[in-house]
Amino acid sequence: MLPLWDNQTHRRPPVITVLLLVANLVVFGYEIVLSLQAEGALETFMMRHALVPARWVAGWNDEAQWLTLGSHMFLHGSVAHVLGNCWFLWIFGRSVEDRLGSLGYLLFYLASGLGAAALQIAVEPSAGVPMVGASGAISGVLGAYFILLPTAWIVALVPWVVPIVPVPAFVFLILWFALQAVNGFGVLMNGTAGAGGVAWWAHAGGFIAGACLTLWAKSNRWVRRS
């Protein structure tokens, strides 16, 4: 399912969401520039700043490896990759930022990305395939949306069923999380962990981290009323 819009109104401009979108697009633009320069320039840049679980585990005491926990969130492998992530961030991020506040939302976003990376490393510690993308952090945003706005409505494109249909947010997000978990377990069961493709466990880890962080923020009354 592809979310098209939700039914939420926002009292504050989504400053951090917009800045995160710009940051992802600017970095991807830089990747395009590198790809047009000397051969291998882009590959060198991506390998230096991507998160490679096996490399991180082997060099966990290396500052450069710790930096990849953050830098990998702003790298993307293709136009579809970056645009898909930016679209999900735009749809769900504005409402979450409105409830968490700009600074809290930024810290939450980065923490969710770290949680996503942690689970991916824990599940596939020997994987040598570079992990890039904002998906883990954005999955945290989805986890926060699930906690904060479960009764919201998401208007989504549902291929092969109904072209456009409103779906309760909790249904949309449960189905989304189930897809990540099923595919993640499928990768492990088939023995293809670390073979490349989608980092399913990073998605699941980001969602869980986002949901837990939001519950913690609510318990400390750091969430704005709707």
Q: What is the mean pLDDT of residues 189-202?
A: 72
**Tokens encoding 208:** 């869980």
For residue 127, give its domain range: 2-219
21-35: average pLDDT: 97
The answer for 134, left when phi > 0, alpha when psi is -120 to 50, beta otherwise, is alpha
Does residue 81 lie within any of the structural domains?
Answer: yes
Q: Do residues 130 and 47 lie in contact, with contact meaning Cβ atoms separated by under 8 Å?
A: yes
Give domain status of residue 224, yes or no.
no
pLDDT greater than 90 at residue 120: yes
Mean pLDDT for the chain? Answer: 93
What is the spatial distance between Cα 108 and Cα 88, in angstroms, rounded to a whole number? 16
pLDDT, residue 38, reads: 86
How confident is the model at residue 4, as a pLDDT?
95
Please tell me the predicted confidence (pLDDT) of residue 1.
83
Q: Does residue 105 lie within any of the structural domains?
A: yes
Residue among 184, 176, 56 nearest 117 (CA): 56
Tokens of 52: 């490679």
* Residue at 225 is within a domain: no
Residue with tokens 């699930």: 146
Q: Residue 224 has what pLDDT?
A: 84
Domain-embedded: residue 102: yes
The two three-digit tokens of residue 196, written as one number: 């490349």
Q: How far apart are CA 117 and CA 58, in angstroms?
A: 15
Instruction: Encode burial over 52-80: b for 16+ CB neighbours within 10 A, e otherwise.
Output: bbebbeeeeeeeebeebbeebbbbbeeee
First to last CA, the chain: 26
Token pair of 61 as six digits: 């005491």
Confidence of residue 194 (pLDDT cuts 50, 70, 90): low
pLDDT of residue 186: 81
144 assigned to some structural domain: yes
Confidence of residue 42 (pLDDT cuts 50, 70, 90): very high
Q: How many domains does the chain have?
A: 1
The pLDDT tens digits for 43-73 are: 999 999 999 999 999 998 999 999 999 999 9
For the entire predicted model, the pTM comes to: 0.94
Q: Is residue 141 part of a domain?
A: yes
Least confident stretch, 44-58, 99-113, 130-144, 154-168: 154-168
* Residue 65: per-residue pLDDT: 95
Question: Hey, CA dihedral for 168, 24, 124, 208, is it positive or negative?
Answer: negative
Q: Is there a domain that residue 226 lies in?
A: no
The stretch 122-143 carries a mean pLDDT of 95
- Residue 190: per-residue pLDDT: 76
- How far apart CA 226 and CA 12 sit, in angstroms, is 11
* Whole-number pLDDT of residue 201: 92
Instruction: Provide the CATH number for the domain around residue 107.
Output: 1.20.1540.10
Answer with the residue of higher pLDDT: 201 or 160: 201
